[in-house]
Amino acid sequence: MQYIFIVNSNIHKKRKKALEKAIAALPADLRNHSKVFYTDHSNHAEELAVTNSEKYGSECIIFACGGDGTVHEIANALAFRNSPMAVIPLGTGNDFARTLYPKDLYKNPMQILKRLANPMIHSIDLFRIDSYDYMGNHLPAWSRYSLNVASMGLDTQVQSKAKRIVAKHPKSMFIRNNAYSIAAVSCLKSGWRFKMDCKIELETGEMIEMKDVDYSLVSICNGRYYGSGFCPAPQASIDDGVLDVCIVEKKSRLKAFSQLMKYKKGKHVGLKGFSFYRSTSGIFTSLNSNMQMEGNYDGEDFYGHKVRYEIIPQAIQMAFFTE
């Protein structure tokens, strides 16, 4: 087995050094079958994953060593291939890893390398996001596979602001770890308004159609966490063939402030104004005449007047190192 470590070069220097040290400390039989690659341009992680998958096939495990953006790139590269991927959470949010690993392993990712010889390979789900413009034309630049969570509305505005906050304070670990919460408070102060039509296909096959929906945000969840620990779908599972969709109705600033921490901790289930759907596909169409929907999948931005999603069961191989 070959172990391919694709490292986002933008991760914090301490985390990069810790990873290099842990790989160097591997037993010789594992170390001699390990290769480390560093990204040096946009989409490089995806390119490296494709190259190594084509070279080694099922005889390699390709590690995403970074944050959710790195995970997103490598998942898109390995969708429907027979090379398993794995995750070493070294980025800012690391939200997919929160679903993937128990807390002790998530907090101490170098422990994953001590379990390298005993991977458990298991197929998990992906979902597809396809974006369209006002005329119905497909937008391939903003259409991708997602492994974790896609969302639209207030939370995407928050994420955009969080990215700017991190960019302004690149050396502050406190800022990096709390950027999403800081941005959320800022965006709640400034206000928002979103309106849409939607069609949601439930896991039973029933189709729900809603018109003129005033909403604050929509999250489409394969994993449970996004935005540095926010938990929109505490019951979501990455291998059940179903997406957990949460629609949050339009809320006043006061109500939004009061419910923000409940939403972050996954304690909003059952509260008024939060609707949940176990769904296999759906379409959201913007009714804001002067703006299209702004969304993100796994933390990466996308836009579209109409957005369609669909679950793709067991579309990617994942290597687990929990024992």
Sorted by where each begins, the domain ranges of the chain are: 2-118, 127-314
- Residue 150 is predicted with a pLDDT of 96
Distance CA 229, CA 67 (A): 13
The torsion angles phi and psi of 3, rounded to 5 degrees, stand at -115, 110
The torsion angles phi and psi of 227, rounded to 5 degrees, stand at 60, 40
Distance CA 37, CA 77 (A): 15
CATH topology for the 127-314 domain = Tumour Suppressor Smad4 (2.60.200)
pLDDT digits (tens, 9 = 90+) for 131-188: 999 889 999 999 999 999 999 987 777 777 777 787 787 777 777 777 777 777 776 6
Parts of the chain with a pLDDT under 70: 187-192, 253-254, 256, 289-291, 323
- Is 3.90.550.10 the CATH number for 2-118? no
Say if strands 149-153 and 120-132 run parallel, antiparallel, or are unpaired: unpaired
How many C-beta atoms surround the C-beta of residue 62 within 10 A? 27
Residues whose CB is less than 8 angstroms from the CB of residue 317 and which lie 6 or more positions away in sequence, other chains included: 78, 81, 82, 83, 84, 85, 121, 122, 123
- Residue 126 is predicted with a pLDDT of 98
User: Which of 73, 68, 65, 80 lies closest to 34 in space, CA to CA?
Assistant: 65
How many C-beta atoms surround the C-beta of residue 4 within 10 A? 25
Radius of gyration of the chain (CA): 20
- Residue 289 is predicted with a pLDDT of 65
Residue carrying the six token digits 């974790």: 148
Residue type, 7: V
Residues whose CB is less than 8 angstroms from the CB of residue 134 and which lie 6 or more positions away in sequence, other chains included: 292, 305
